Amino acid sequence: MINIELARRPVSLRAGDKIAICSPAGRIAPEKVEKAVAVLREQGWEPVVMPHALGEHGTFSGSAAERLSDLRAAFADPEVRAILCSRGGYGVVHIMKDVDALPTVAADPKWVIGFSDISALHALMSHKGIESIHASMAAHILEGADNEDNAALFGILRGERPAYTFAGTADDRPGMAEGILLGGNLAVLAELISTPYDIISPDTVLFIEDIAEPVYKIERILYQLRLSGVLGRLRGLVVGQFTDYKPDENHPGGMEGMIRDAVADYDFPVAFNAPIGHVFHNIPLIESARVTLKVNAEGVNSLIFWR
């Protein structure tokens, strides 16, 4: 069961704090990590590339035991104040129960950073009642501190609570909602339904995104949530970017049109086209944090994190 009321905020990072770079899922090109390390070092932090972060084991960075070993060491090191996942891919689910069993995860909360398959790790942190950061990883951090999303991420790590505005669309449903923000990659989260890490919960503000999933598969997930009663009990919905999918003759309005129709029976506010997901402009979001979502009929939406 997800603890959405008592989420703890990891301590803010200071100069000299360590950031452990782990690869709990797919393998990554070492040069991307090297460039990201240089950016983090320029910020005054001490990035530490964990022993198996640059490894290769099939499509994974290492065996399940090796990937777990890196996370275990990162969570156990009191000098490590954040864990940056180098990339997504697939594989976090292999080690979730073992990470959940680590006493250091709850004893000394650290910022966990990443998105895509890392949504499973965010769900675990929410299960533990700890905030985490849904944000871009090494391949984007290497763009440098002048990049607005990187600047926002670094601000969160230093203790800031962001407020975002983004353009509305014709599919939006105006309104205002307050609640706990949870979400991530929808296909990954759907696989966690009815497990202890199920974060698609009533009375939350849910954000969703995905890549290369057919329209009908996303519709299937939404109908599962409709039939379970969860979808209609959300406080708000933020629809991020659904990319790299093929047209579907049953849904001429595309993915967004299908989602609009799937939630048409409800009255919570819905914001489409949020800059979240497998796109260059991917705003960092604090999972398990309290937010206010404002969907404005005039076409300017906002997502504000409580201090």
- Give catalytic residue positions: 116, 209, 278
Cβ neighbours around 56 below 10 Å, total: 13
Distance between CA atoms of 18 and 212, rounded to whole angstroms? 35
Task: Evaluate the CA torsion angle 96, 212, 280, 152 in order and state its sign.
Answer: negative
Distance between CA atoms of 131 and 125, rounded to whole angstroms? 7
193-196 long-range contacts, CB within 8 A, separation 24+:
193/224, 193/228, 196/1, 196/100, 196/127
254-261 long-range contacts, CB within 8 A, separation 24+:
254/215, 255/215, 255/218, 256/169, 256/171, 257/171, 258/215, 258/218, 258/219, 259/171, 259/218, 259/222, 260/171
Q: 145-181: string of b/e by CB count within 10 Å (b at 16+)? A: eebebbebbbebbeeeebebebebbebbbebebebbb
